[in-house]
Chain A
Amino acid sequence: GIQVEQSPPDLILQEGANSTLRCNFSDSVNNLQWFHQNPWGQLINLFYIPSGTKQNGRLSATTVATERYSLLYISSSQTTDSGVYFCAAKRAGANNLFFGTGTRLTVIP
């Protein structure tokens, strides 16, 4: 299957700071998604972004498919941004969406 690596594994930020999370994948993908898992375990879909750039409020994401990576930007972080951020990728023609091991973000007031 496709390998999905995320960095950094852990990140601690002061409230108001900006951050960039990275996702590298080992093969060409036609499906790339970013999720946020809150401390209660709920997984929320942030972006469906197999290529290009999208923005949603303080969050934005960019996927450079030809170079096999995706970035998630969080600006002006808030304590509610805390949790684990996962990226997940799927090859064209495959059915399995593979998740990375996540980046655990802690935003302190």
Chain B
Amino acid sequence: DAGVTQSPTHLIKTRGQHVTLRCSPISGHKSVSWYQQVLGQGPQFIFQYYEKEERGRGNFPDRFSARQFPNYSSELNVNALLLGDSALYLCASSLLADSPLHFGNGTRLTVT
């Protein structure tokens, strides 16, 4: 079975632009979570979706939004990019909302 897949793997954007990151969960998993990992720190929770509904949101500004589609894949959108948004964005899927997380390889976003 395929693991969690994320696209793109790398992305370079300019301040003020918008970005969309994509995630496909493990087949059968109904929950997708998004995390931001800045260099040298642990991942920080951004969103969790379960059965296409938002279950939780971390301490991130409204520039960050996400959604989950009927096939359980997910998108993370970030508007008006700032230099500080440069990070590794990780998507994780789990069978249920509280099950073990399985991470994708991440999207490395660089904002210049």
Contact = CB atoms under 8 A, between A and B. Distances in A.
A39 interface: no
Interface in B85-102: 88, 90, 92, 97-102
A45 B45 contact: no
A33 B100 contact: yes
A101 B57 CA distance: 20
Contact of A95 (B43, B55, B99, B108): B55
B45 to A, nearest CB: 5
Contacts, number: 53
**Majority-rule SS of B interface residues:** strand
A108 interface: no
A41 interface: yes
Given A42-B105, A43-B90, A43-B103, A98 B98 contact: no
Nearest to A44: B103
**Which range contains the number of B residues in contact with the other chain?**
20 to 34
A46 B56 CA distance: 24
A83 interface: no
Interface string A76-109: 0000000000101010001111111110000000
A44 B90 CA distance: 12
Contacts of A90: 98
